[in-house]
Amino acid sequence: MAEFMTETEQRAPGVPRPGTPGEPRERTGEAAAGPSDGHEATALLERTRALVDPELRAALESLPGSMRRIALYHFGWQQADGTPAAGNAGKAMRPALVLAAAAALGGPAARAAAVRAAVAVELVHNFTLLHDDVMDRDASRRHRPTAWAVFGDADAILAGDALQALALRLLAEDPHPAAVPAMARLAGCVVELCAGQHTDTALERRAPDAVTLDEVLVMAEAKTGALLGCACALGALYAGAGEDEVGALDGFGRQAGLAFQLIDDVIGIWGDPERTGKPAGADLAARKKSLPVVAALTSGTPAGAELAALYAKPYVEAEAEAGEIARTALAVERAGGRDWAQAEAADRMARAMQELARAVPVPEAAGGLLALAEFVTRRNS
């Protein structure tokens, strides 16, 4: 599948307004980052894994045996039977943001000092993944069974709880002067994440025509944008930045996080299972009210009405052969949900660039953050 955000798509006129796909609205500005092939971001993510993984593995090894086994399985470093594995621990986007923000404001010394904070953010992120997989009943992640599918719900939930506690302990034991405010900020972020997840589950219980796009955008900021914003803010704290710079980088991460979620929701409907590691149309089968879906439902179009009718009845797996998932995806697309999500992602990235310019006015210093921001809207898995 082609990249979701081509240069043409990012700069096309007539960007649709939220809730009314297809109608023009005013743009908030263009992204400061020029087009790239993603190599810079990929290299940055690889360097982040090299810096973070030793500390991360050491932290996981400190867990009690039962929790350690589940955590190491979840990160792809062990098989279910405890034997070693060379699995995929994820892209490391959030710890990369911590280190890139620290480097942008404080140089290499600040980046080196912020490694423990980057590990803490990665632990919190994976705590949310363990819990989300249980709540969403996702049976696969990173191309293998999820932790709950292997060890059961209770064990996966408890392992997630242990990762969250471990993250806060890492910061509590860090002698760096930024550790205490960083711990407070990360704890506040966890509360916001939980509130966002609670809203998400509440919205899933409501009728398809009883959810607004504004509600889902607020929920997405809490569930996804908050942690990316917190990651950037922690990097700024470890660089000794002032309140204005910390706040601006938090805003940058939040807006980039919304763009990330928009593209993730697009991938959740139209992504290639060979790349995503999840079944095609899994979000549609689960009747998830993702951002493209809600944009389509609130479009006032015949396709939107068709989608509402499909979403009003539970998905029956036996009907998959009859093409229900394909029909549902087509209804979302015909109602403008896919186009709106892609255009909104570009708009959110433009806002992110404005926040970044406030915190790091010298573009050369912000190179790592710019590369990561572009990467999140140009991925296809």
CB 361 within 8 A of CB 28: no
Which among 360, 348, 358, 354 has a CA at the least distance from the CA of 102? Answer: 360
Q: Report which of residues 17 and 334 the model is more confident about.
A: 334
Task: Please return the burial class of 359, using the count of CB atoms within 10 Å of its CB with bins 0-12, 13-18 and 19+.
Answer: buried
Chain centroid, CA 348 distance in Å: 14
Structure confidence by residue, pLDDT tens digits, 314-325: 877 765 555 888
* pLDDT computed for residue 283 by the predictor: 84
Q: How many residues does the chain have?
A: 381
pLDDT of 23 higher than 90: no
pLDDT of 9 higher than 80: no
pLDDT of 93 higher than 90: yes
pLDDT of 10 higher than 70: no
* pLDDT computed for residue 232 by the predictor: 98
Give 380's pLDDT tier (boundaries 50, 70, 90): low
Q: What residues does each domain of the chain span?
A: 35-376
What CATH number should be reported for the domain whose range is 35-376? 1.10.600.10
The Cα-based distances of 327 to 69, 274, 309, 335 in angstroms read 41, 21, 12, 12
* pLDDT computed for residue 381 by the predictor: 57
* pLDDT computed for residue 354 by the predictor: 96
Structure confidence by residue, pLDDT tens digits, 207-218: 988 999 999 999
Cα 282 from Cα 261, distance rounded (Å) = 16
Averaged pLDDT for residues 70-92: 92
Structure confidence by residue, pLDDT tens digits, 247-298: 999 999 999 999 999 999 999 899 887 776 667 788 898 888 999 999 999 9
pLDDT of 182 higher than 50: yes
Give the DSSP H or E segment for 356: helix 337-359
**Which residue type sits at 123?**
L
Which among 216, 189, 191 has a CA at the least distance from the CA of 202? Answer: 216
Averaged pLDDT for residues 1-19: 31
Phi-psi region of 55 (alpha: psi -120 to 50; beta: other; left: phi over 0): alpha
Cα 147 from Cα 133, distance rounded (Å) = 8
* pLDDT computed for residue 88 by the predictor: 78
pLDDT of 5 higher than 70: no
17: number of Cβ within 10 Å = 16
φ, ψ for residue 357 (rounded to 5)?
-65, -30
Q: Report which of residues 182 and 33 the model is more confident about.
A: 182
* pLDDT computed for residue 37 by the predictor: 57
Which among 298, 292, 306, 288 has a CA at the least distance from the CA of 205? Answer: 288
Least confident of 54-68, 76-90, 101-115: 76-90
pLDDT of 31 higher than 80: no
Give 27's pLDDT tier (boundaries 50, 70, 90): very low
Which among 91, 53, 96, 48 has a CA at the least distance from the CA of 72? Answer: 53
Residue carrying structure tokens 């002032």: 242
Q: Report which of residues 273 and 105 the model is more confident about.
A: 105
Token digits of residue 89: 């621990």
Tell me the DSSP string of 202-244.
HHHTS-GGG--HHHHHHHHIIIIIHHHHHHHHHHHHHTT--HH
Mean of all residue pLDDT scores within the chain: 87
Instruction: Output the pTM of the full model.
Output: 0.85
Q: What angle do CA 204, 205, 208 make, to 5 degrees?
A: 70
Task: Please return the burial class of 212, using the count of CB atoms within 10 Å of its CB with bins 0-12, 13-18 and 19+.
Answer: middle
**Terminal-residue alpha carbon distance, the chain:** 10
